[in-house]
Amino acid sequence: MKLHWDGLTSEQVKEQRDKYGINELDKQKKEPFYLKVVHTILEPMFLLLIVASLIYFFLGEPKDGLIMLIFVVVIIAIEIIQEWKTDQTLNALKDLSAPKVKVVREGKTIEIHSEELVPKDLMLIEEGVKVPADGFVIKANDLRINESSLTGETEAVWKIICEDFKGNVNDELDNYWREDYVYTGTLVTTGSGTILVDKIGSQTEYGKIGKHLAHAENTPSPLDLQIGKLVKICALVTLAFLLLVAGVTFINDASLDLKSRIVQSILSGITIAMAMIPEEFPVVLMVFLSMGAWRLAKKDSLIRKLPAVETMGAISVLAVDKTGTITENRMTVTELWPLYSENQTRLTEVMGLASETDPYDPMEIAILAYDESEGWSKEKLFNGELVKEYPFTDELKMMGHVWNRNNQIEITVKGSPESLINISTLTDAEKRSTLEKITAFSNQGLRVIAVGEQLVQTIAEVPETIQKCQLTFLGLIGLSDPPRATIKNDIMQCKKAGINVVMITGDNGITASAIAKQVGIPNADHSLTGIEIDRLSDDDLGEHIKTTNIFSRVTPEHKMRIVKAYKQNGEIVAMTGDGVNDAPALKYADIGIAMGKRGAEVSREAADLILMDDNFSTIVNTIEDGRRIYDNIKKAIGYIFVIHIPIALIAFVGPLLGIPQMSLFLLPVHVVLLELVIDPTCSVVLERQPSEPDIMEREPRNPKETILTKSLLVKSIIQGLVIFLISFFTYYLMLQQNPNNDSLARTMGLTILVVANLFLVQVNSSNRLLAIQTFKTLIYDKVIWLVLGGTSIGLLALIYSPMNDVLGLSALSLTQLLVCIVLGMVSVLWYDLVKMVKNKTSI
């Protein structure tokens, strides 16, 4: 095959795709539709429904049975639509955060999803990228790859250009772990390269091993577990009630024959079970979290793992990088200090020579921009031959370029002053004045970089490693990087919200302190350095971090220890990271935050959250949203709990009072109506609630706190009891007055329940605002109107249409209707009075 530097055309891509398929490791098995239906039907709630309708058929009341079956179908449809919507949301999110790769196609460099790669594509890889397909190295620039995921070898491998490339793409390779070939799943640690894709998907070495399968663990989140537990407890209570009610019904109906007694007691048991099983809890959790994540994605905050939404609200420590997160990452050279003034020009020249020829780091760009303004254009600087590179490492904090230029070999180095002083020849006096200057620059919040050179005659004299150089120290440069405009305010907001902001940087402590002071980070006068961290035991580190907010001269390995120490102290830690080596710490943190713009691809893959705009403000907003979403989940769980109480009590008390089965307040059909149609619809309102006014003035939520707190439980029980008393007694009084008109009594009771439902969501939408106020905040929201309007119209339709007879309902007179509406309102709006009193006393 001839190499086409223009890459594939779209026809060729299509051809290849048809031939080799999609570049994915494991095909995602989609649950077929019928299995979804089967799963839904197997939920206890539906089994009950189906049993109930079968009993009706069996009793020779096919009308009732049919209604139940219609409900089953409607509810299954609702559930499947809901699931489908959630699925869609999650897929859209996944799509946004899916790995991408640059390829050359039809002569243009474009970015595509890694999945869309086909053999013979030309892909461009660079530092921080996880290689998405196997392929031949066509071009390499300083390309080093860590292949430990395949070979276990932790030392990165230098890649060379494939010389004997014969173009026999997709031939079986006999030679394993070639140096001129890159492998899927490995990590580019430095440099860049162009790769001719050879194999994709399960054809790759990585795909063949199938190792990746081990990573696909799916552990339930703490909230999942809590809700699971809640559901279990409710199910047990339900079982007890079911047995009790079934027993009582059996004894009460002593006048009937045995068969009817059994059937009646089963029916009342089923009714109470349906009334009590809290099947909405997991649904609420899933819907609220995925909707929340979706809303966040629109605000530049991409959640990669759903439970992160809830954890965001519990964050107590926010550890962020200085450069780019707190500062703008817009560097400018503002100071230049040559050790000897005659060195000024040479310093300017060497700092350019020691920079990347094709820079992307803002600091390098700043240095070259400065040189440009001083008359050192790139062409003028880089006119020699680059014979060797000493790549930058986090440990050494310096880098160098060796140039063959002007008939000599020039070793040019720049980096952190501490590192450079170590490999330079300086007299004590020179050292002293240098150190003084470093302190002076740092105190101004500048990043200080030292520059040095060594001239040799032959390439043989060039030291193997940068540490073996013996430099002539040329001087220092000071770079400014202004703090972001909103940062001070953001940090203040975090303080109010009880979140400890911690700064992590590779810069020196004095510079870090100066910046910290400018932006209002507490304990800004001292910092803990990476070397000091190395000397501390885990316990001592745990003590130190209680009063430390700045970590300077740290490497990614230190970040890991810092996260661990905070977690040991019981904190919930969010940490940002952008480098290749930040991935482990990001994974370990409760919330790992990666940068969408400047971050390395692997850091994004390890993160729970990707900040699309790299902006600190977005983190703060996401925390606020996390708190809001958690609040709303809590409100929804509370609401569902409240509304279950009257339904369950009605189903329970009726048989106890000896009311005959046919005259009961709630027949199974009505329970289904309330439970499965009305209250899930109403909880949609809670999902849309804006945050409470004091949301960022509270301490972070205690992660151990259960979602149904004691106070919420007490409030819910009282609210539920009041609704029960008002609706049940209205029904009971009506029934006493007209013993033969159970449908009238039932209709009045049911209307009260539905009205109470509609107002309860408003009342419980806020802990402080009154129902009318919360309603006003969402007055322009169409969905709210759809829910409230739809439910009201639905109720009226049931009461007044000819269908009412089938459902055991009857038309109400206007007075009766109004009485019910007022009673329904009273049964929940009383809680607004409690709020008023609370608001008064808390001011």
Least separation in angstroms between CB 336 and ligand ADP? 16
Residue 732 as a binder of ligand ADP (CB under 6 A): the answer is no
Q: How many residues bind ligand ADP (CB under 6 A)?
A: 19
Non-local CB neighbours of 616 within 8 Å, separated by 6+ positions: 320, 325, 326, 484, 486, 487, 490
- Binding partner at 680 among Mg ion, ligand ADP, none, C-beta below 5 to 8 Å by kind: none
Contact at 8 Å (CB) between 732 and 744? no
Least separation in angstroms between CB 323 and Mg ion? 5
Of all residues in the shown chain, the one whose CB is closest to Mg ion is 323
- CA 573, 576, 579, 583 torsion: positive or negative? positive
Residue 323 as a binder of ligand ADP (CB under 6 A): the answer is yes
Binding pattern to Mg ion, positions 310-329, x when CB under 5 A? -------------x------
* Spatial separation of the C-alpha atoms in residues 41 and 77, rounded to whole Å: 11
Distance of CA 229 to the CA centre of its chain: 24
Binding pattern to ligand ADP, positions 359-398, x when CB under 6 A? --x-xx---------------------------x-x--xx
* Spatial separation of the C-alpha atoms in residues 178 and 261, rounded to whole Å: 80
Residue 414 as a binder of ligand ADP (CB under 6 A): the answer is yes
Contact at 8 Å (CB) between 296 and 329? no
DSSP string of 433-479, one letter each residue: HHHHHHHHHHHTT-EEEEEEEEEESSGGGS-SSGGG--BEEEEEEEE
Q: Which is nearer to ligand ADP, 589 or 672 (CB)?
A: 589
Residue 800 as a binder of ligand ADP (CB under 6 A): the answer is no
Q: Which listed range, 88-96, 188-196, 504-512, 513-521, lies at the site for ligand ADP (CB under 6 A)?
A: 504-512
Q: Which of 415, 646, 720, 808 binds ligand ADP (CB under 6 A)?
A: 415
Which residue pairs, CB below 8 angstroms and at least 24 apart, start in 178-184? 180/136, 180/137, 181/134, 181/135, 181/136, 181/137, 182/125, 182/131, 182/134, 182/135, 182/137, 182/145, 183/131, 183/134, 183/147, 183/150, 184/131, 184/132, 184/133, 184/134
Q: Which is nearer to ligand ADP, 339 or 770 (CB)?
A: 339
Residue 449 as a binder of ligand ADP (CB under 6 A): the answer is yes
Residue 515 as a binder of ligand ADP (CB under 6 A): the answer is no
Q: Which of 147, 205, 310, 321 binds ligand ADP (CB under 6 A)?
A: 321
Query: Regarding beta strands 332-338 and 472-480, do their DSSP bridges make them parallel or antiparallel, or are they unpaired?
Result: antiparallel
Residue 478 as a binder of ligand ADP (CB under 6 A): the answer is no
Q: Which listed range, 310-318, 412-420, 693-701, 803-811, lies at the site for ligand ADP (CB under 6 A)?
A: 412-420
3-class state of residue 305 by DSSP: coil
Of all residues in the shown chain, the one whose CB is closest to ligand ADP is 506
Least separation in angstroms between CB 469 and Mg ion? 23
Least separation in angstroms between CB 517 and Mg ion? 21
Least separation in angstroms between CB 608 and ligand ADP? 21
Residue 533 as a binder of ligand ADP (CB under 6 A): the answer is no
Residue 513 as a binder of ligand ADP (CB under 6 A): the answer is no
3-class state of residue 335 by DSSP: strand
Residue 447 as a binder of ligand ADP (CB under 6 A): the answer is yes
Give, as ranges, the residues between 345 and 364 that touch ligand ADP (CB under 6 A): 361, 363-364
Least separation in angstroms between CB 506 and Mg ion? 6
Burial (CB count within 10 angstroms: exposed 0-12, middle 13-18, buried 19+), residue 778: middle
Give, as ranges, the residues between 166 and 205 that touch ligand ADP (CB under 6 A): none
Q: Which is nearer to ligand ADP, 555 or 743 (CB)?
A: 555
- Could you give the C-alpha distances from 383 to 404, 408, 462, in angstroms and in order? 9, 13, 20
Structure tokens at 810: 């009857």
Residue 399 as a binder of ligand ADP (CB under 6 A): the answer is yes
Q: Which is nearer to ligand ADP, 300 or 361 (CB)?
A: 361
Q: Count Cβ neighbours within 10 Å for each residue of 408-447 and write b for 16 or more, e otherwise.
A: ebbbbbbbbbbbbbebbebeeeeeeebeebbebbbeebbb
Contact at 8 Å (CB) between 798 and 785? no
Q: Given the rule CB under 6 A, which residues bind ligand ADP?
A: 321-323, 361, 363-364, 392, 394, 397-399, 414-416, 447, 449, 505-507
